[in-house]
Chain A
Amino acid sequence: MNNRERSLSGEAVRLEGIVKRFSGVTANAGIDLSLNYGEVHGLLGENGAGKTVLMSVLYGLYRPTEGQIYLKDRPVAISSPAVAIRAGIGMVHQHFMLVPRLTVADNMVVGWETLWGPFLDRSRIRRRIGELSEQYGLEVDPSARVEELSVGEQQRVEIVKALYRGAEVLILDEPTATLPEQEVESFFATIRALRDEGKAVVFITHKLREALTICDRVTVLRKGEKVGTVPASQATESQLAEMMVGREVVFEVQRERVASEGQPLLRVEGLTAVDDRGVPAVQEVGFTVHDHEIVGVAGVQGNGQSELVEAICGLSRLRQGQVMVDGEDLSGAPPRKMAQAGLVHIPEDRHRRGLILDFSVGENSILGRQYESPFAIGQVGQSKRAIAGYARELVERFNIVVPGVRTPARALSGGNQQRVILARELDRKPKVIVAAQPTRGLDVAGIEFVWEQLLAMRREGAAILLVSMDLDELLTLADRLVVMYQGKLVGERKPGETDKQEIGLLMLGGAVETA
């Protein structure tokens, strides 16, 4: 026991001069990093800064082009995840590595099974999982199927999975990206418990506030290079932001007062919609968005926001209710008609609904308008030249970073993919914009861009419906907030007259409606 105690203090891992190149692209350019037992070490950087690549090197998913890894001061070569697991390194990936159809227990032990003869010893496995979940306060049901679990529960499964394999160094890749706001606090408590047990925890994130809240030290990466390591207690948000982006970042957006003319551009009445399984997901929802106005929709993910957006935009069948765009009744109209009437949609899943990943940037930039002149020639022709010209114009105007307009959308970073979508939709000069989680997964620069664009559209008079899981975003941008809970609107607030606590309560269905 004493031996173990001693081994769990001091330096756990040291990376020296890690270089990782992918066919000419340098993802990590000589990074040094030191992780101690009993600390939470933040790895901060924008998308594409090389955080995940660096940790994938440590976990054996990538072999470093150059550089050396030391575990407890001993040089090691980590050639595969199997080697990393044996060395006590665990990684919770941003996209969970769990098989939905299998049980929690099976998912946890695969590749690291506890046996009885040649068979899986399922009762011993369950016992061990029970012990671990008790020790760290991570409640999981070993016999549940993963597909029945919420995102937060799946995350707990991933952490216990790493602990089951004896992880003493635990890498968490953007663990809060998919977590509902309400679960972040208890998740942080878990991380602290792990740290207090002596684990070395790596917390990859691009969210400054979270890094400062949970980490002991923070290392900032930018464009594959290490900018520096600072103790979290001595760092400020703006200092870290500057390290991350390389320039000063303005967090306060300029939300000038623009008077609405009180013209209802989007009016939704008594809208009822069902989800993919046919279960009612939206019930009798009604609201109005005026010109020069942003109305935010708050709510815990899965309370009907997606179905509401799809019903408004004509992507799913309207069960009941009315959708009026600038006075015109478009209930149940197909998306093309919606767009012609001036309603555009920024979809929440940009890979599935926003872009065709294997199509070029040019083709993606005219999606939804492919039948219009000058992109179309007659009924069947297509003017490649008109499309490319238009795309080049958008690329320029919206500062999209692309090698060329013939590059497939797949090759773009998330931020630039979102720019393509925004450029395409906003260039149609819409009256109504339905934006579903437009900044999800974007880095600081990407978020800044989306916010600026939405505010610019508001200035020009558009009515904007903004669905977001990020309360800070809603409180910053929206003129009015409505809260969705179990398919119904349960409250309306003005950002200046409310706070996160109150909205959070409403989101959980906890508060009494005050008229």
Chain B
Amino acid sequence: MDVLSLDIMVAALRLAMPIALVALGETFSERSGIINIGVEGTALAGALIGATVAFFSGSSVVGLCAALGVGMLLGLIHAVWCVYLRADHVVTGAAINLLVIGLALFLTRVVWGWRGTSAAVPTLNPWILVWGMVGLIVLAQVYLFRTPWGLRLRVVGEHPQAADTAGINVFRTRVAYSVLNGALCGLAGAFLVNNLGRFSVGMVGGRGFIGIAAMVVGNYRPIPAFLAAYLFGFVDALQMRLQDVIPSHFSIMLPYVLTVVVLAGFLGRAHVPAALGKPYIKDQG
């Protein structure tokens, strides 16, 4: 068996895509100061709603748009909770994760009569999305470090008072990037549906959390985060081929074991945005 063929490298790109999208979204969100561990649930919501809408409309593109929409909605809810109501970011994110699982079990039952899975839904050529995403990552890197909006975003996450006194609206910035994060997670979910041709409640399977890990390993930079995501995707592709050699119970573990090992090495080395997770409280004016 030729493990390191071009074939597996390309397959890895496809498997890395949802992880990379989440990593990118979370990079934007955390750069603005908002932690969102609800990315796991947001991706699942994107998959669920994307599949449902595609199923009824018969159009994969409409499904995709619906996935984006539900992601943005969840991103907005998270932002409103964290920014204006000063809720704990992690608790809010966890709530989103739980909410979506419940919704998925309910909706699949109502629509298809099965617990947790859908019927087959229309799909489109995944490679359009894959290459589009690679372009998006490069754009994001340039946006973050070469444009005024990227600079403002970074200042908001590092020192919101400084941003405020420089005339930047901290609240609006945080909400906007949280919504963007939601959109990218929703897209990640839609992509998973597109890969499988149907929805299943376990289909995100920790890829949201691995996306956060990829962001940390990439030190809050889009291209390095993408490379980290690609590494996870590669191990995922690898383990599929290894299933003939070692029992699948063990091979399936590989990406998760890798996450733990890699994170242990990188955690603490990454520079976390200084104002991450802290609500910005403006004096009453």
Contacts and interface: CB of A to CB of B under 8 A. Distances in A.
Interface of A: 22-23, 59, 61-63, 80-83, 85, 91, 93, 95, 97-102, 106-107, 109-113, 115, 118-120
A112 B166 contact: yes
Given A63-B285, A99-B155, A99-B162, A82 B167 contact: yes
Listed from nearest, the 3 A-B pairs whose CB atoms lie closest are A82-B167, A111-B166, A97-B162
A375 B158 CA distance: 42
A109 B165 CA distance: 12
B100 to A, nearest CB: 35
Interface stretch (B62-70, B103-111, B146-154, B249-257): B146-154
Contact of B284 (A23, A80, A95): A23
Interface of B: 142, 146-148, 151-152, 154-155, 158-159, 161-168, 271, 274, 283-285
12 contacts: A61-B164, A61-B165, A81-B165, A82-B168, A93-B165, A99-B159, A99-B162, A109-B148, A110-B148, A113-B148, A115-B148, A120-B151
A113 B167 CA distance: 12
A111 B168 contact: yes
Nearest to A118: B147
Contact of A61 (B154, B168, B285): B285
A115 B151 CA distance: 12
Given A22-B284, A82-B168, A91-B165, 9 more contacts: A93-B165, A95-B161, A97-B161, A99-B154, A102-B155, A111-B168, A113-B151, A119-B146, A119-B147
Contacts of A23: 284
A98 B159 contact: yes
B155 A120 contact: no
B164 A99 contact: no
A81 B158 contact: no
A114 to B, nearest CB: 9
Contact of A99 (B158, B168, B284, B285): B158
A98 B284 contact: no
A106 B151 contact: yes
Contact of A101 (B163, B164, B271, B284): B271
Contacts of A106: 151
Given A119-B146, A120-B146, A110 B283 contact: no
| Most chain A CB atoms below 10 A, which of B142, B151, B159, B166 | B166
A106 B158 CA distance: 13
Contacts of B146: 119-120
Contacts of A97: 159, 161-162, 165-166
B158 to A, nearest CB: 4
Q: SS class of chain A's interface: helix, strand, loop or mixed?
A: loop
Nearest to B151: A110
Contacts of B168: 82, 110-111
Contacts of A119: 142, 146-147
Q: SS class of chain B's interface: helix, strand, loop or mixed?
A: helix
A91 B142 CA distance: 31
Nearest to A80: B167
A106 B166 CA distance: 12
A143 to B, nearest CB: 14
A374 to B, nearest CB: 38
Contacts of A111: 152, 155, 163, 166-168
Contacts of B158: 99-102
Contacts of A85: 166-167
Contacts of B142: 119
Contacts of B165: 59, 61, 81, 91, 93, 97
B148 A62 contact: no
| Most chain A CB atoms below 10 A, which of B142, B148, B158, B161 | B148
A59 B159 CA distance: 18
Contacts of B283: 22, 61-62
Given A99-B154, A111-B152, A81 B166 contact: yes
A341 to B, nearest CB: 38
Given A102-B154, A102-B158, A120-B148, A62 B285 contact: yes
A82 B152 CA distance: 13
Nearest to A115: B148
A81 B154 contact: no
Contacts of A101: 158, 271, 274
Contact of B167 (A22, A62, A100, A112): A112
A80 B151 CA distance: 20
| Most chain A CB atoms below 10 A, which of B151, B161, B163 | B151
A107 B166 CA distance: 10
A99 B285 CA distance: 24
Contacts of B162: 97-99, 107, 110
B220 to A, nearest CB: 11
A337 B116 CA distance: 63
B164 A81 contact: yes
A11 to B, nearest CB: 25
Contacts of B166: 81, 85, 97, 110-112
